[in-house]
Amino acid sequence: MKTLQKRKLGNSGLEVSALGLGCMGMSWSYGAAKNKQEMIQLIHSAVERGVTFFDTAEVYGPLTNEELVGEALRPFKNEVVIATKFGWEPANENEVNARWNALNSRPEHIKKVVEGSLKRLNVEVIDLYYQHRVDPNVPIEDVAGAVKDLIQEGKVKYWGLSEAGAQTIRKAHTVHPVAALQSEYSLWTRQPENEIIPTLEELGIGFVPFSPLGKGFLTGKIDENTQLDSNDFRTTVPRFSAENRKANKALVNLLNQFAKQRNATPAQIALAWLLAKKPWIVPIPGTTKLNRLEENLGAMSVELKPDDLNEIEQAASEIKIEGARYPVAAERMTGL
């Protein structure tokens, strides 16, 4: 087993590999679920290469992704950190295969669903438990209080928020220290730089960017002619319309220029940029392919100095990213 560079998520003391692995796409969202045994093997390959930070959620599948991650990581339980999330429920629990599009972060719900996550993950304690989306019907102080109870009961070690705004983060942090915020952040989604990152730095909270490769777009392997699977959620994302993909290729072309100068790939430059921004940022690129996993981990060998960051950011700031990052209903659930 190799050793990768490690990072601490803010002041929490939670130490993880500098790059984690987002596991959502193995079961959900990017087309049909992938072969379970192949995904278990991929997760094992990640562990062998030094990855110690794995991300899943109750809603991925729903439920099946936690089961996959739990089964794959059972032999390594004491060597890895597993993050999962709560906060969704079926819109109608009486319907078979009901869509999980109802938010629920009521304290009694959190204390109920944690038991299912513990069971599916095959663990006695959840390392990092995120609120998946802020529930406007439940005061964040009540959510924090419920998770604090779970921490005191030994069912959760650390807790975090996802896509929360600065004021929500502050309120939550006063009840029980927030270890990490997980939100979208990449060279084509830079809103966190305005308020979120300064707030995290001030409070000593780690940052876990999801979709650090722009849902695959920043790899350079997707253009306006790419045919997405009919059940790939990107078909509903405005930024992924054929017209917007064509316009947004300008950012990939820019990454390509920097990549050629450094004998790297566009994906590696995009990840190296995030790693160079702050020492408490831990991106979690997802993949279902071993060669992509290895490519992503190679980003840790790409060193970008402050001058490089300035050059990349100056050039990127001149490119207008076309299209919203989510459909309107989903965009309303974010605090960026």
CA–CA gap between residue 118 and residue 122 (Å, rounded): 6
Structure tokens at 20: 């984690």
Q: How far apart are CA 136 and CA 139, in angstroms?
A: 7
Compute CA 274 distance to the chain's CA centroid, rounded to the nearest angstrom: 13
Sequence-separated (6 or more) residues with CB below 8 Å from residue 188: 214, 217, 218, 239, 248, 251, 321
**Which active-site residues does the annotation give?**
60
- Strand 156-162 versus strand 180-184 pairing type: parallel
Cα distances from 288 to residues 35, 129, 132, 268, in angstroms, run 10, 23, 22, 17
The span from the CA of 85 to the CA of 158, in Å, is 12
